[in-house]
Amino acid sequence: MTNLNNTDNLGSDIPVPEVVIQRLPLYVRVLMQFSSAGEKVISSEQLGTRLQMTPAQIRKDLSYFGRFGKQGRGYDVAMLERQLREILGLDRMWNAAVVGMGRLGRAVVSYPGFAPEGFKISAVFDTSNAIVGKTFSDLRVQSISQLTESVKELDIKIGIVTVPINHAQEVIDALVEAGIKSILNYAPLSPQVPEGVTVRGIDPVLSLQSMTYYIR
Protein backbone atom coordinates (compact mmCIF):
# COMPACT_ATOMS: atom_id res chain seq x y z
CA MET A 1 0.00 0.00 0.00
CA THR A 2 1.37 3.42 -0.90
CA ASN A 3 1.50 4.92 2.55
CA LEU A 4 3.95 7.69 1.87
CA ASN A 5 2.80 11.23 1.64
CA ASN A 6 4.41 12.63 -1.45
CA THR A 7 2.48 15.83 -1.94
CA ASP A 8 5.30 18.05 -3.07
CA ASN A 9 4.63 21.17 -1.09
CA LEU A 10 3.58 19.48 2.11
CA GLY A 11 5.19 17.46 4.80
CA SER A 12 7.63 14.71 5.24
CA ASP A 13 8.26 11.15 4.15
CA ILE A 14 7.00 9.46 7.32
CA PRO A 15 4.43 6.75 6.48
CA VAL A 16 1.02 7.96 7.59
CA PRO A 17 -1.03 5.40 9.56
CA GLU A 18 -4.15 4.30 7.70
CA VAL A 19 -6.35 5.34 10.62
CA VAL A 20 -5.12 8.93 10.17
CA ILE A 21 -5.94 8.84 6.45
CA GLN A 22 -9.41 7.59 7.32
CA ARG A 23 -9.96 10.54 9.65
CA LEU A 24 -8.89 13.22 7.16
CA PRO A 25 -12.20 13.20 5.23
CA LEU A 26 -13.97 13.84 8.55
CA TYR A 27 -11.73 16.86 9.10
CA VAL A 28 -12.65 18.10 5.62
CA ARG A 29 -16.34 17.70 6.44
CA VAL A 30 -16.13 19.55 9.75
CA LEU A 31 -14.10 22.32 8.11
CA MET A 32 -16.84 22.65 5.46
CA GLN A 33 -19.44 22.94 8.25
CA PHE A 34 -17.42 25.66 10.00
CA SER A 35 -16.86 27.43 6.70
CA SER A 36 -20.63 27.41 5.99
CA ALA A 37 -21.18 28.91 9.43
CA GLY A 38 -18.89 31.79 8.47
CA GLU A 39 -15.95 30.78 10.68
CA LYS A 40 -12.50 31.75 9.39
CA VAL A 41 -10.30 30.20 12.06
CA ILE A 42 -10.68 26.96 13.99
CA SER A 43 -8.73 25.65 16.98
CA SER A 44 -7.70 22.05 17.54
CA GLU A 45 -10.02 22.18 20.59
CA GLN A 46 -13.00 23.03 18.35
CA LEU A 47 -12.05 20.34 15.84
CA GLY A 48 -11.62 17.86 18.68
CA THR A 49 -15.03 18.61 20.17
CA ARG A 50 -16.72 17.97 16.83
CA LEU A 51 -14.77 14.78 16.14
CA GLN A 52 -14.79 13.35 19.66
CA MET A 53 -11.00 13.51 19.74
CA THR A 54 -8.50 15.32 21.96
CA PRO A 55 -6.80 18.47 20.62
CA ALA A 56 -3.48 16.62 20.96
CA GLN A 57 -4.69 13.85 18.63
CA ILE A 58 -5.82 16.43 16.08
CA ARG A 59 -2.43 18.18 16.16
CA LYS A 60 -0.61 14.86 15.87
CA ASP A 61 -2.71 13.75 12.88
CA LEU A 62 -2.07 17.00 11.05
CA SER A 63 1.64 17.01 11.93
CA TYR A 64 2.19 14.10 9.52
CA PHE A 65 1.63 16.54 6.69
CA GLY A 66 3.63 19.50 7.88
CA ARG A 67 2.71 22.62 9.80
CA PHE A 68 -0.76 24.03 9.18
CA GLY A 69 -1.33 26.33 12.12
CA LYS A 70 0.57 28.63 14.41
CA GLN A 71 0.78 27.80 18.10
CA GLY A 72 -2.19 29.41 19.84
CA ARG A 73 -3.57 30.95 16.63
CA GLY A 74 -5.68 28.08 15.30
CA TYR A 75 -6.03 26.92 11.72
CA ASP A 76 -7.21 28.92 8.72
CA VAL A 77 -10.44 27.05 7.87
CA ALA A 78 -10.37 27.56 4.09
CA MET A 79 -6.66 26.87 3.73
CA LEU A 80 -6.68 23.74 5.87
CA GLU A 81 -9.66 22.36 3.93
CA ARG A 82 -7.92 23.06 0.61
CA GLN A 83 -4.68 21.44 1.75
CA LEU A 84 -6.40 18.34 3.13
CA ARG A 85 -8.35 17.97 -0.12
CA GLU A 86 -5.09 18.11 -2.03
CA ILE A 87 -3.48 15.53 0.26
CA LEU A 88 -6.46 13.20 -0.18
CA GLY A 89 -6.56 13.67 -3.94
CA LEU A 90 -9.96 15.39 -3.80
CA ASP A 91 -8.92 18.26 -6.04
CA ARG A 92 -9.94 16.30 -9.16
CA MET A 93 -12.74 14.08 -10.52
CA TRP A 94 -12.62 10.30 -10.12
CA ASN A 95 -14.46 7.84 -12.35
CA ALA A 96 -16.15 4.90 -10.66
CA ALA A 97 -17.88 1.73 -11.86
CA VAL A 98 -20.74 0.03 -10.03
CA VAL A 99 -20.98 -3.76 -10.30
CA GLY A 100 -24.35 -5.24 -9.37
CA MET A 101 -27.44 -3.42 -10.59
CA GLY A 102 -30.07 -4.87 -8.28
CA ARG A 103 -31.98 -2.69 -5.82
CA LEU A 104 -28.86 -1.60 -3.95
CA GLY A 105 -26.85 -0.80 -7.09
CA ARG A 106 -29.69 1.32 -8.45
CA ALA A 107 -29.94 3.22 -5.16
CA VAL A 108 -26.17 3.85 -5.25
CA VAL A 109 -26.28 5.07 -8.86
CA SER A 110 -29.13 7.48 -8.07
CA TYR A 111 -27.51 8.80 -4.86
CA PRO A 112 -26.98 12.53 -5.38
CA GLY A 113 -24.08 12.82 -2.92
CA PHE A 114 -21.26 11.44 -5.05
CA ALA A 115 -20.99 13.91 -7.93
CA PRO A 116 -20.65 17.11 -5.84
CA GLU A 117 -17.69 15.46 -4.08
CA GLY A 118 -15.93 14.58 -7.33
CA PHE A 119 -16.98 10.95 -7.74
CA LYS A 120 -18.61 10.21 -11.09
CA ILE A 121 -20.23 6.86 -11.76
CA SER A 122 -19.21 6.34 -15.38
CA ALA A 123 -20.22 2.72 -16.00
CA VAL A 124 -22.43 0.05 -14.45
CA PHE A 125 -22.18 -3.73 -14.78
CA ASP A 126 -24.08 -6.87 -13.95
CA THR A 127 -23.65 -10.60 -14.48
CA SER A 128 -27.29 -11.30 -15.23
CA ASN A 129 -28.51 -11.30 -18.83
CA ALA A 130 -31.88 -10.14 -17.53
CA ILE A 131 -30.34 -6.83 -16.41
CA VAL A 132 -27.56 -6.24 -18.96
CA GLY A 133 -28.78 -3.76 -21.58
CA LYS A 134 -31.22 -1.96 -19.29
CA THR A 135 -30.66 1.70 -18.45
CA PHE A 136 -30.58 3.25 -14.98
CA SER A 137 -29.81 6.92 -14.30
CA ASP A 138 -28.73 7.28 -17.96
CA LEU A 139 -26.21 4.44 -17.71
CA ARG A 140 -26.60 1.33 -19.82
CA VAL A 141 -25.83 -1.84 -17.85
CA GLN A 142 -22.86 -3.67 -19.39
CA SER A 143 -21.87 -7.29 -19.06
CA ILE A 144 -19.17 -7.95 -16.48
CA SER A 145 -17.14 -9.44 -19.38
CA GLN A 146 -16.63 -5.89 -20.65
CA LEU A 147 -15.20 -4.70 -17.34
CA THR A 148 -11.48 -4.63 -18.20
CA GLU A 149 -12.07 -2.85 -21.50
CA SER A 150 -14.35 -0.20 -20.00
CA VAL A 151 -12.05 0.43 -17.03
CA LYS A 152 -9.24 1.32 -19.44
CA GLU A 153 -11.40 3.23 -21.89
CA LEU A 154 -13.16 5.38 -19.28
CA ASP A 155 -10.18 5.77 -16.93
CA ILE A 156 -12.12 4.16 -14.07
CA LYS A 157 -10.15 4.11 -10.82
CA ILE A 158 -12.79 3.05 -8.29
CA GLY A 159 -15.00 -0.04 -8.15
CA ILE A 160 -18.25 -0.09 -6.16
CA VAL A 161 -19.49 -3.60 -5.34
CA THR A 162 -23.24 -3.98 -4.83
CA VAL A 163 -23.68 -7.66 -5.67
CA PRO A 164 -25.01 -10.24 -3.16
CA ILE A 165 -22.50 -11.69 -0.71
CA ASN A 166 -22.09 -14.99 -2.60
CA HIS A 167 -20.81 -13.16 -5.72
CA ALA A 168 -18.80 -10.44 -3.98
CA GLN A 169 -15.37 -12.13 -3.89
CA GLU A 170 -15.44 -13.07 -7.59
CA VAL A 171 -16.53 -9.54 -8.57
CA ILE A 172 -13.76 -8.05 -6.42
CA ASP A 173 -11.28 -10.43 -8.11
CA ALA A 174 -12.51 -9.21 -11.50
CA LEU A 175 -12.10 -5.56 -10.48
CA VAL A 176 -8.56 -6.21 -9.25
CA GLU A 177 -7.80 -8.09 -12.48
CA ALA A 178 -9.03 -5.04 -14.41
CA GLY A 179 -6.52 -2.87 -12.57
CA ILE A 180 -8.77 -1.26 -9.95
CA LYS A 181 -6.96 -0.42 -6.71
CA SER A 182 -9.78 1.21 -4.69
CA ILE A 183 -12.92 -0.76 -3.92
CA LEU A 184 -16.01 0.27 -2.00
CA ASN A 185 -17.69 -2.94 -0.88
CA TYR A 186 -21.35 -3.03 0.18
CA ALA A 187 -21.43 -6.83 0.57
CA PRO A 188 -21.17 -8.03 4.17
CA LEU A 189 -17.96 -9.99 3.76
CA SER A 190 -14.31 -9.31 4.35
CA PRO A 191 -12.78 -9.98 0.93
CA GLN A 192 -9.28 -11.15 0.06
CA VAL A 193 -7.30 -8.71 -2.06
CA PRO A 194 -3.63 -8.44 -3.02
CA GLU A 195 -1.37 -5.87 -1.40
CA GLY A 196 -1.73 -2.45 -2.92
CA VAL A 197 -5.51 -2.71 -3.19
CA THR A 198 -7.62 -0.78 -0.66
CA VAL A 199 -11.10 -1.98 0.25
CA ARG A 200 -13.55 -0.01 2.36
CA GLY A 201 -16.72 -1.71 3.53
CA ILE A 202 -20.07 -0.03 3.89
CA ASP A 203 -21.79 -2.16 6.44
CA PRO A 204 -24.28 -0.86 8.99
CA VAL A 205 -24.14 -4.11 10.95
CA LEU A 206 -20.41 -3.71 11.63
CA SER A 207 -21.02 -0.15 12.80
CA LEU A 208 -23.81 -1.25 15.13
CA GLN A 209 -21.64 -4.06 16.47
CA SER A 210 -18.87 -1.65 17.42
CA MET A 211 -21.28 0.50 19.46
CA THR A 212 -22.92 -2.11 21.65
CA TYR A 213 -19.57 -2.57 23.40
CA TYR A 214 -20.15 0.79 25.09
CA ILE A 215 -23.74 0.12 26.23
CA ARG A 216 -23.70 -3.56 27.07
Residues in contact with a second copy by CB under 8 A are 1-3, 19, 21-22, 24-26, 28-30, 33, 49-52, 87-90, 92, 94, 96, 103, 107-108, 111, 113-114, 117, 119, 157-158, 160, 181-182, 184, 188-190, 192-193, 198-202, 204-216
Distance in angstroms (rounded) separating the CA atoms of residues 98 and 81: 29
CB of 185 to a second copy, least distance (A): 9
> With respect to a second copy, which residue has the nearer C-beta, 75 or 119?
119
CB of 170 to a second copy, least distance (A): 15
CB of 49 to a second copy, least distance (A): 7
Q: What are phi and psi of 185, to 5 degrees?
A: -110, 115
Q: What is the DSSP string of 90-109?
A: -SS-EEEEEE--SHHHHHHH
> With respect to a second copy, which residue has the nearer C-beta, 25 or 66?
25
Distance in angstroms (rounded) separating the CA atoms of residues 54 and 164: 39
> With respect to a second copy, which residue has the nearer C-beta, 138 or 213?
213
Q: Where are the alpha helices (DSSP H) in the chain?
A: 18-36, 44-51, 55-63, 77-88, 103-110, 147-153, 165-177, 204-209, 212-215
> With respect to a second copy, which residue has the nearer C-beta, 2 or 71?
2
CB of 133 to a second copy, least distance (A): 25
Cβ contacts of residue 133 below 8 Å, gap of 6+? 140, 141
Of 68, 58, 62, the residue nearest 14 (C-alpha): 62
Residue 107 near residue 126, CB atoms below 8 Å: no
CB of 129 to a second copy, least distance (A): 25
> With respect to a second copy, which residue has the nearer C-beta, 84 or 132?
84
